[in-house]
Chains A and B, each alone.
Chain A
Amino acid sequence: VEEEKSVDLIRWVNKQRVLVLASRGITHRPRHLVQDLRILMPHSKKESKMDKKDRLETINEITELRHCNKSLYFEMRRHSDLYMWISATPAGPSAKFLVENIHTMDEMKLTGNCLKGSRPLLVFDKVFDDEDHLKVLKAMFRQTFGTPKGHPKSKAFIDHIMLFTVADRRIWFRNYQIVQPDPTLGMDPNGEPTLAEIGPRFVLNPFRIFSGSFYGATLWENPHYISPTAMRRNLRQKRSTKYSTKVK
């Protein structure tokens, strides 16, 4: 049972700090996505790009040097496939995802806006509570994307929502502004709000969960995951058999 009477609304207790970094050779769209996330996460710190030749464990050292306890690492492969690592440093766990369908905040159809540094309300799909691996991912997302109360760079008022929902065996991320009814337009100021999408959008295809931070035993792996290379190969094969079946 939560202690409801004595809620400290000011003090900074939950000191989550997230290191956000990308690999060298990241293309423009993922780079903008990383930038968008940095803007939305006042509790994050930035680091210069990682060389892909470096061992992943060196991220743990950098994370500790920068006094962070979480890290988000974006790695680009073959100039087309983006992977995201989310990790709790130093004890783990960590998880790896393929990032699909990226839309950044720059897009014109995303009309929402919110305060820079305001804390998001985190909305999770009910499905996250049903499976053990999703429970772990939920906790990691909450601690990484949520802004700690009382963080010096955070702002008062809660004017946006981050949605994490599961569909098609993937995790979909959306960020909406909470638009309160405008009394100057004759609306009831205590009425229900509406939402306007701010962006970015992305889809995480989970891949594997490790017990350590960027290393360790595999705790879960996705039986439905097909690597983008295999996907492209399948597509090519389908295209090639299309012709041979026609000829027959």
Chain B
Amino acid sequence: DENVANGESKKVYKYDRAGLKEKLDELCTATEKHWVERLEVTVEKEEIEDIHDDFARETSFYNQALAGALQGQKHLEKYGVPHRRPADYYAEMVKTDAHMHKVRANLAAEKERVERSE
């Protein structure tokens, strides 16, 4: 599988599988042996026909992520990890209230614009 990127060069590209395996074994430590430490799921993706088609691409990503979320939730419930944030749980968020206010205002304006044009 030493493919050549552009016709003229005949460069041989390195692929040291034994070396990669060795490094992988070194990386995977006992401290993350349990799933609860890793929170990791693997999901297959539907084929994307045209990667430059934003809508098709993002839909495929969304569906893959959602399938992952459902699979992840099953694991979380199995091990009793709290994951559903109660509606009355207030804590600092990644985006500030001011930012979210702007996002909502922007969304409302967009919606209004669409309605007016219809």
Contacts and interface: CB of A to CB of B under 8 A. Distances in A.
Do A and B actually bind? Answer: yes
Contact of A9 (B39, B41, B81, B102): B81
Contacts of A192: 70
| Chain B: number of interface residues, binned into ranges | 35 or more
A155 B94 CA distance: 12
Interface in B70-94: 70, 72-73, 76, 78-85, 87, 89, 91-94
B31 A119 contact: no
A135 interface: yes
Q: Which of A92, A139, A184 has the most CB of B within 10 A?
A: A139
B19 A155 contact: no
Given A105-B95, A219-B14, A126 B69 contact: no
| Chain A: number of interface residues, binned into ranges | 35 or more
Contacts, number: 208
Majority-rule SS of A interface residues: mixed
A55 B23 CA distance: 24
B117 interface: no
B45 to A, nearest CB: 6
Interface of B: 1-6, 13-17, 19-21, 23-24, 26-29, 31-45, 48, 51, 57, 61-62, 64-66, 68-70, 72-73, 76, 78-85, 87, 89, 91-95, 99-100, 102-103, 106-107
